Chain A
């Protein structure tokens, strides 16, 4: 009996050492590479990067940001609706796009207004200092000086799930629009797709 117990304990320790050896230490990965985790139900960081890259290329190639009067277009980021079953922050996409638009030199982005309120509340807050004696009133920003946007970037992310036997699939559909706020007309629209598939093993998860 004792021998059996020793053997069993030895086997368990051996198995623990064996499986413990399968793990990897935490390590950093290159965010521009393809070594990130890929899961079917989520939008992984590579999916965001690829979508942003394609969307930026499409938007800049369209040329709609350039104006005839020489003035730069003022762009506001409206709402990118999350119609997926996941909790996602669409700022990962819109922030990359607004940075690219700003760096292109074709447009300026406003942080004073966005789909979910002001990106930076300071523009409104500093105008409340007009009644504050502590501040030199000559240096206080006056009302009526902030510039209103000409265009708005909005969109929606839709997810469709499919399961067949042990196979599961997720299809993410990104729809983005750029609206001319003067006319309400969409001057640019594009769709970007991500499809992912996995097959569950016969045993385990």
Chain B
């Protein structure tokens, strides 16, 4: 009886793992790019998203025309046996997020932009995404990236 139960649990486990759609990536080891890393305190996330989507790094670049280009690298860390089963039951596989960039001038005032809107995105477990934005003008000094789960 116990054997049958264990076999049943194993089959159910394998079934769910089989349903998990993960991404495997490969890249060059010797990286030649030069990036300016910035403090990640400018990224705001809720506690749920923190456990699912890891902000790996935030980079910025001031272009020759004075506009700021930012890139936030995030990885869906809901991989592995238990996370996969958990994320399957939680319905967050593949994980849907929505994000928005806001821009601040040197006085901390928000800069109005025609491009500011929540943008939905799907992140497959194990995948790394790079969220990019360009400042609306050269007076922008700081940015805030807001991330939330897309439950709508």
Q: Chain A: residues with CB nearer than 8 A to chain B?
A: 32-35, 46, 49-50, 52-53, 56-57, 60-61, 63, 65-66, 96-97, 99-100, 103-106
Contacts and interface: CB of A to CB of B under 8 A. Distances in A.
A105 B133 CA distance: 17
A103 B136 contact: yes
6 contacts: A53-B115, A61-B67, A66-B64, A100-B113, A100-B136, A106-B67
Contacts of B132: 57, 61
A100 B120 CA distance: 21
B7 interface: no
Contact of B136 (A46, A66, A104): A104
Interface string B82-120: 000000000000000010100000000000111111111
Contacts of B50: none
B120 A34 contact: yes
Interface residues of B, number: 26
> Chain B interface secondary structure, helix, strand, loop or mixed?
loop
Given A61-B63, A104-B67, A96 B114 contact: yes
Nearest to B112: A103
3 smallest A-B Cβ distances: which pairs? Answer: A53-B115, A66-B65, A56-B115
A100 B114 CA distance: 6
A103 B113 CA distance: 8
A32 B133 contact: no
B65 A50 contact: no
A32 B148 CA distance: 14
B118 A33 contact: yes
Contacts of B63: 61, 63
B134 interface: yes
A32 B69 contact: no
A106 B118 contact: no
B138 interface: yes
Given A49-B117, A56-B114, A103 B137 contact: yes
A60 B100 CA distance: 17
B150 interface: yes
Contacts of A99: 114
